[in-house]
Amino acid sequence: MDKNFINSLGEVALSSKIRQFNEKLYAEGVMVYKKLGINFEPKYFLIFMLLKKHGSLTIGDMSVETGLTQPAITQLINSLYKKKLVSFKKDTEDSRKKIVSLSLNGKSMLKKLIPVWDSFDKSI
């Protein structure tokens, strides 16, 4: 039996290979955070970086900045909210919009993450 069926398919399976690589990279990221005692998942990286850069943004603005759909951003934000890492306030101009920012816990987490991300950058 072929140990790696995807590799045996050659270039035709490129998207599957990329997905496999991405899943492995994600798992490695989770492991690094766990080893460092940081309860963080790589899927939250973009949100944290956006809020670090801008301070606060609407979900729509995050969608535009990242190219991710609003439902995808909403799902990430709701997960971060449950972990008490972000907070919301209503937009003064449009009460239907929520403005998202890092909570105190999120800001504390960010302080732990920045050195980790800096070391990732230096190692690449």
41-123: which CATH topology?
Arc Repressor Mutant, subunit A (1.10.10)
Query: Considering the entire predicted model, what is its pTM?
Result: 0.80
SS3 101: strand
In contact, 97 and 104? CB cutoff 8 Å = no
86 vs 101: CA distance, rounded Å: 6
The residues spanned by each domain of the chain are 1-35, 41-123
List alpha helices for the chain, DSSP H.
Answer: 5-8, 14-35, 45-54, 59-66, 70-82, 104-123
Per-residue pLDDT of the chain (124 residues; tens, 9 = 90+): 556 766 666 766 677 778 888 888 888 888 989 999 999 999 999 999 999 999 999 999 999 999 999 999 999 999 999 999 999 998 888 888 889 999 999 999 999 999 999 887 777 6
